Amino acid sequence: MKTVIALLLILFVPAPSSQARGIPSSPREFLKNAETELRNEAENGQRAEWIMQNFITDDTTKLTADANAKLNDLSTRYARESRNYRGKSAEEKRKLDLLFNGLIVPAPKNAAKNAEMARLMSELGSMYGSGKACDSKGNCRDLQVLEEVLKTSRDPAVLLEAWNDWHGIAKPMKAKYERIIELGNEGARELGFKDLTEVWTSKYDMPSAEYEKSIDELWNQVKPLYEQLHCYMRAQLRKKYGESQVAATGPIPAHLLGNMWAQQWSNIPDIAGVEGGNATDLSRLLQKASYDSKKMVQTAEGFFTSLGMPALPKSFYERSLFEKPRDREVVCHASAWDIDSRDDVRIKMCIKPEEDDFRTIHHELGHIYYYLMYKDQPFLFQSGANDGFHEGLGDAIHLSLTDQYLKTIGLLKSIPAKKPGSDPDYLFKMALDKVAFLPFGLLVDKWRYQVFSGKTKPAEYNQAWWALREHYQGVKAPISRDADSFDPGAKYHVASFTPYSRYFIAHILQFQFHRALCKAAGHTGPLSECSIYGSKEAGARLMAMMKLGASKPWQEALFELTGEREMDAGAIRDYFAPLEAWLKTKNAGQTCGW
């Protein structure tokens, strides 16, 4: 979770008018007041949110709604008032732009509607965090349990039941979600935006239309690679489950891909044909070495300190949540928190000694170290250069978690020798995570843009969701879905109004970051074999970019690290080039596409 303005500006309650308060005469004074007030209220909001996600009750939900309401009161008010000023310096101009474009769901002026929005947003968060599927005997399963079923079972009936159970918890969210869209669009129009789509696409240092065009161009660069992976996996799933479950052509049923949202396929390496062989079983190594949650976090911290970054504050270990409590419900979705925009940083995660969690911890500490690197920037600059930078940095660290890294830290005794002509197991496992995600990362916000603009009506929410999933992912609903279903709400980021394009951007940037960092580290072999662990040169390049925060346009921050000013999907194609060639050979004779 970010404390910065861009991730928390959701709700607000009435505040004194600017006339009553008196408007500062200069942009400098205005910005000073804004940063002081917003920093204080952001901290209050973060503390309330932390408590609510760790102790989900009606009372904590109400307190969080009130805190978020007060924060967005300030945020929306300052966004409106920022239009009264013209910055005298480049710094003032950028701060004013960030104030105006930093909103996520701007609230309308009407006090009753503000309070309604605050209540609805908090209720959605609580509904997701406490969601359970219960049978007639009162036996209940939460998301963590149901996800485990999707990961481990190979019985299509069992998989379908788990998939359907979780997606059912979102149906009651639909009416609340619809109403929030109405209120958010009203607030957006009051600020001069056309709708929430324009709010969301206006924060990338380029016109909205240019931004959307650039995203589509990046997708077209990587689409051929995804199509080859999809083609191969469909054939493997058909071999496993038979033609009655998976047809030779067309989309893949969503419940068979090992993930609740079919967004990553790395939980079914056995079906993919990459279990064993040259692929390292990291989960087994962690369990064999008796890694507990704290040791996993400490190991990830060691990665960053090896690059020349400081040790984490003592309070990080005292205040973070690493394991799911037995006595209460918590939101287990992994998240990184910057509580006070200074040194109080934490993660909240229900950690298990498994490969996914090991990688996720390194990712979350990427956020944490980004917070710490830019903590000395003015408050309005305390965020990533764009919202894909935060995710991209954490994910770039994933790419350095190679066998060589595992050997260096003692988890792996020796690096297995590769057999000549063997399947590219490591690249395949990475592709099941990184490449499989790309269309899902793109389509979530494409669906929301249709909803925000009114192109997709409430009665069409679910139909439009699956139309986009079939178009981009080649994935379909495993059973018929009625119009009252709200399958998008079964995804945390939809229920929480967290923008999702950042994750697509991050999956492009991480390979671009990795390519540049490997060059700085002096690596000359295949990108898939590069780990920057221990490279002070790579660390220096990385920290130089991180310390900028949002003080410069993202193109300048990208140049600081990579020497390039445009996002380039060529790096991901370079990384997976051997796998793409292998897939084309394996797919010969197949009808690819859907």
Catalytic residue ranges: 364, 493
**How far is the C-alpha of 96 from the C-alpha of 29, rounded, in Å?**
12
* Per-residue CA distances from 22 to 17, 18, 55, 207 (Å): 8, 6, 40, 33
**How far is the C-alpha of 289 from the C-alpha of 411, rounded, in Å?**
7
**How far is the C-alpha of 15 from the C-alpha of 80, rounded, in Å?**
13
Q: Report DSSP state, residue 251.
A: P
Residue 389's nearest CA partner among 513, 497, 214, 492 is 513
How many C-beta neighbours within 10 Å does residue 587 have?
18
**Triad 518, 524, 529: Cα angle to 5°:** 65
Q: Alpha helix (H) ranges present in 469-535?
A: 492-495, 501-520
Structure tokens at 589: 């004779």
**How far is the C-alpha of 47 from the C-alpha of 26, rounded, in Å?**
32
How many C-beta neighbours within 10 Å does residue 359 have?
19
Helix, strand, or coil (residue 123): helix
- The residue with tokens 């494409």 is 446
Query: In this structure, is the dihedral angle defined by the CA atoms of residues 193, 195, 200 and 206, taken in order, positive or negative?
Result: negative
Q: Which residues contact 193 (CB under 8 A, 6 or more apart)?
A: 106, 199, 202
Structure tokens at 412: 């792996």
